[in-house]
Chains A and B, each alone.
Chain A
Amino acid sequence: QVQLVESGGGVVQPGRSLRLACAVSGFTLRRYGVHWVRQTPGRGLEWVAVISYDGRDKDYGDSANGRFTISRDTSKNTVFLQMNSLRAEDTAVYYCAKGSSGSYYWIVDNWGQGVQVTVSS
C-alpha cells in the first residue's frame, strides 16, 4: 500500500534553512514522480515542486522562488525539499504527494499526512 511520510518540519528563524524529507513505501521512485505541495493556514493548496520518475526533471512553482530545491535518494526511497532563506510567508503545512507513473507524474494520486513549518523569530 502506498505511503508517504514527511519529516523535518519545525520552527525556524527567518533567513535560516530547513530540509524536509518524504519517505515513501509501496511504490518505487524510479517509476513515479513526487510533488511537494503546501497549505497556509485557512488557505488553499499551493504547488511547490516536483521531481520526475527518472530524476532528470525538477520543476518549481512560483512559491519556490529560486530558494527551494527538490532532490531524491532512491536507495533510501526518500525525496527531499531543501528550503533556504525562509520567510514568514513560507509558514505552512507541507505535503508530499505521489504522481502517476512515467510521464504522467503531473497527476497527483496519493498524499502524505503533512508536516508543519513555522518561520518565526
Chain B
Amino acid sequence: MLTQPHSVSESPGKTVTISCTRSSGSIASSYVQWHQQRPGSAPTTVILEDNQRPSGVPERFSASLDTSSNSASLTISGLKTEDEADYYCQSYVGNTVLFGGGTKLTVL
C-alpha cells in the first residue's frame, strides 16, 4: 500500500514536496513513478524509475527515495499555477500494480 497526503498547498514560485510512503516492503525494491492529473484530463507521467524525467517534463520536477522513512518524494520547485493538479505515486509488488491515493496540489 502507498500512502500520500490528501492535499498540499503552496504559493506560486515556491517549492512543494509530496510524499509517498510504502507500508510494507522496501520502497527501493521496485521503481516508483509519479503521475500528474490536471482537472478534467487524463494522467501524464512526470517521473519514471524513481527520479527520471520523461522528455518534455520541466526540470522543476524532481524526485527521490528515502529508505529511512520508506518513502518516495516528488518535489516541484518554482511553482506555477499550471502545476495545480492531482499527483499519484505508482509502484508494484509481485504481480500487482500499486497506486497511492493521490495528493491534490493547490497553487494559490
Contact = CB atoms under 8 A, between A and B. Distances in A.
Contacts of B98: 47
Interface of A: 35, 37, 44-47, 50, 57, 59, 61, 95, 97, 100, 104, 106-114
A77 B86 CA distance: 30
A108 B42 contact: no
Interface string B85-108: 010101010011111111000000
A50 B100 CA distance: 18
A113 B16 CA distance: 27
Contacts of B45: 108-111
Interface of B: 30-31, 33, 35, 37, 42-45, 48-49, 54, 86, 88, 90, 92, 95-102
Contacts of B31: 104, 106-107
A44 B35 CA distance: 12
Contacts of A95: 42-43
A113 B99 contact: no
Contact of A111 (B43, B95, B96): B43
Of residues B42, B95, B96, B97, which shows the largest number of chain A Cβ atoms within 10 Å of its Cβ? B97
A100 B99 contact: no
A46 to B, nearest CB: 7
A109 B96 contact: no
A47 B33 contact: no
A44 B88 contact: yes
Of residues A57, A95, A109, which shows the largest number of chain B Cβ atoms within 10 Å of its Cβ? A109
Contacts of A110: 45
Nearest to A112: B42
Given A45-B43, A95-B42, A95-B43, A107 B33 contact: yes
Task: Please name the 3 residue pairs, one residue from A and one from B, whose CB atoms are nearest each other, closest first.
Answer: A106-B92, A47-B97, A59-B95
Of residues A35, A59, A106, A113, which shows the largest number of chain B Cβ atoms within 10 Å of its Cβ? A106
29 contacts: A35-B97, A44-B86, A44-B88, A44-B99, A44-B101, A44-B102, A45-B43, A45-B88, A45-B102, A46-B99, A47-B99, A50-B97, A59-B96, A61-B96, A61-B97, A95-B42, A104-B31, A107-B31, A107-B48, A107-B49, A108-B33, A108-B45, A108-B90, A109-B33, A109-B48, A109-B54, A110-B45, A111-B35, A112-B42
